[in-house]
Amino acid sequence: MNLSNTWSTLWRMALLALTLVVGIGLGQQALAQADPGSEMATAVPTVDADTWRQIRSGETGPNYRTSRFDSDYNLINASGESWRQLRNRWVSPFGLIAVGGMLGLIVLFYLIVGSKKLDEPRTGRKVLRWTLFVRSLHWTVATLFILLALTGLNLAYGKAVFRPLFGDGFWAAMMSGTKLIHNYLGPLFGIVLVILLLRLLHHNWPKKHDLVWFKKGGAMVGKGHVDAGFANGGEKVWFWLLATAGIVVIASGFVMDFPNFGLARDTMQWANIIHAIGALGLTAVALGHIYIGTIGTEGSIEGMTTGYVDETWAKEHHNLWYEEVKDQAIPEADLAAQREAPRGGDEPAPHSS
Ligand code: HEM
């Protein structure tokens, strides 16, 4: 099987898996939804005659208080109300500022500074940077992340946008589909992300030269470059953000996905706040990663699509790594011939990921 066949088979399999997951999601609502009966049993403390007497006398408790405003005597779930305020007054607006602000900053940066072009001409000789395995993992993680980010943003802000635009019926159907997709893809993303992180861990241990990289802002403005091994300082920050905040987002997502394991309502509320802060923050940073990986840096995307980068790119962006692999550089024509050959066109070199 040649390389393009392997690719298309892999993608077809990934697509099939994705379709299956979404299909199961749409077909079996009950699994991801909390069983309302059991949730009630764990979320609400027993309400007995004493509780009602307490409420009637105007006393307050940890899970309720009476609102005597306008003498309407409504029962209010105090902790639920605190969660609602925290979510609507703080998390949602600041999340929007983080994501929208990052988008604005990227556009400004691109308009003022522009993309980082290669200083020297390409040599036409290529070094292997990302194996087929890592590329497949990366693009699966990226696809799932984008789907989760879009559905997540819809869960957070969709009500304000789509309900007035399309009406209750459309909005309700859209939200229940969105929630199902989000609920099922979350755990899948968690599994694939952990595999990717484990695979890349050895490249991402902090080194002394990373400090210089940060001091010089990765030389993103102007000409010149800073010392970097396989991963530069910025990539290491992205890696460790995913390995810390990413794991917290996944764990808090699991808590919300499985309320049926005796989880209290307060736990779910905290999981929701933590999940939203982490996920919105990561979405903002992901926009920066996507910019740098595409129009922000000439030649970067080639590595993640074909596996190979030009020697000039390797020398300018990852000079310390280039010193280790320069003996393995292959002329572009030989690479094309290898790709046409039945097998072995994408064998990992010892120093590639
Ligand atoms: C359309 C979206 C994306 C594009 C175009 C993109 C592009 C890239 C490129 C070009 C690289 C290689 C950089 C290099 O060779 O030095 C890379 C690396 C990486 N990307 Fe993405 N990416 C995208 C989305 C994502 C997402 C959503 C995640 C995670 C949630 C992610 C995680 C990573 C990681 C962990 C690395 C490796 C950095 C390291 O060395 O540790 N990417 N990406």
Q: How many CA atoms lie within 13 A of 132 on its CB side?
A: 16
Atom from ligand 1 closest to the CA of residue 305: 10
Virtual torsion, Cα 245, 246, 249, 251, nearest 10 deg: -110
At residue 252, does pLDDT exceed 50?
yes
Q: What value does the mean pLDDT of the chain take?
A: 85
Q: What does the pLDDT read at residue 70?
A: 47
Closest by Cα among 279, 204, 201, 289 to 247: 279
CA–CA separation, 128 and 309 (whole Å): 7
- CA 116 to chain centroid, in Å, comes to 25
Q: What does the pLDDT read at residue 12?
A: 57
CA dihedral over 118, 122, 125, 126, signed as positive or negative: positive
Q: What does the pLDDT read at residue 77?
A: 74
- pLDDT band at residue 347, thresholds of 50, 70 and 90? low
For ligand 1, mutation pick of 126, 130, 194, 235 (most atoms within 8 Å of CB): 235
Q: Give the CATH architecture of domain 3-32+78-340.
A: Up-down Bundle (1.20)
Q: Whose CA is nearest to atom 39 of ligand 1?
A: 235
Packing angle, helices 247-257 and 168-200, rounded to 10: 130
343 — alpha (psi -120 to 50), left (phi > 0) or beta?
beta
CB 133 within 8 A of CB 336: no
Atom from ligand 1 closest to the CA of residue 146: 27
316 Cα: distance to centroid of ligand 1 (angstroms): 19
Long-range contacts of 203-211 (CB under 8 A, 24+ apart): 203/229, 203/230, 203/231, 203/239, 203/353, 204/231, 204/235, 204/236, 204/239, 204/240, 206/236, 209/320, 210/236
- Cβ atoms < 10 Å from Cβ of 232: 22
Q: Whose CA is nearest to atom 8 of ligand 1?
A: 293
Average pLDDT estimate for 34-40: 50
Report residues whose beta carbon is within 6 angstroms of any ligand 1 atom. 129, 138, 141-142, 145, 196, 200, 203-204, 231, 235, 238-239, 242, 286, 289-290, 293-294, 300-301, 303-304
- Which residue do the tokens 């307050």 mark? 60
In angstroms, what CA-CA distances link 246 with 53, 196, 309?
Answer: 46, 12, 28
Question: Amino acid identity of 139?
Answer: W
Tens of pLDDT, residue by residue over 99-154, are: 999 999 999 999 999 999 999 999 999 999 999 999 999 999 999 999 999 999 99
> Helix H segments across the chain?
3-27, 29-32, 36-43, 49-56, 78-85, 92-112, 132-166, 168-200, 208-215, 233-241, 247-257, 265-293, 300-306, 311-317, 319-325, 332-340
Average pLDDT estimate for 40-63: 64
At residue 15, does pLDDT exceed 70?
no
Tens of pLDDT, residue by residue over 185-204, are: 999 999 999 999 999 999 99
Which of 37-46, 260-269, 317-326 has the weakest average pLDDT? 37-46
At residue 275, does pLDDT exceed 60?
yes
At residue 8, does pLDDT exceed 60?
no
Q: What does the pLDDT read at residue 153?
A: 98
Give the start-to-end residue ranges of the domains of the chain: 3-32+78-340, 38-76
CA–CA separation, 20 and 47 (whole Å): 43
pTM of the model: 0.81
For ligand 1, mutation pick of 126, 138, 225, 295 (most atoms within 8 Å of CB): 138
Query: Token digits for 3?
Result: 């390389």
Write phi, then psi, for 310 (nearest 5 degrees).
Answer: -70, 150
Average pLDDT estimate for 255-282: 93
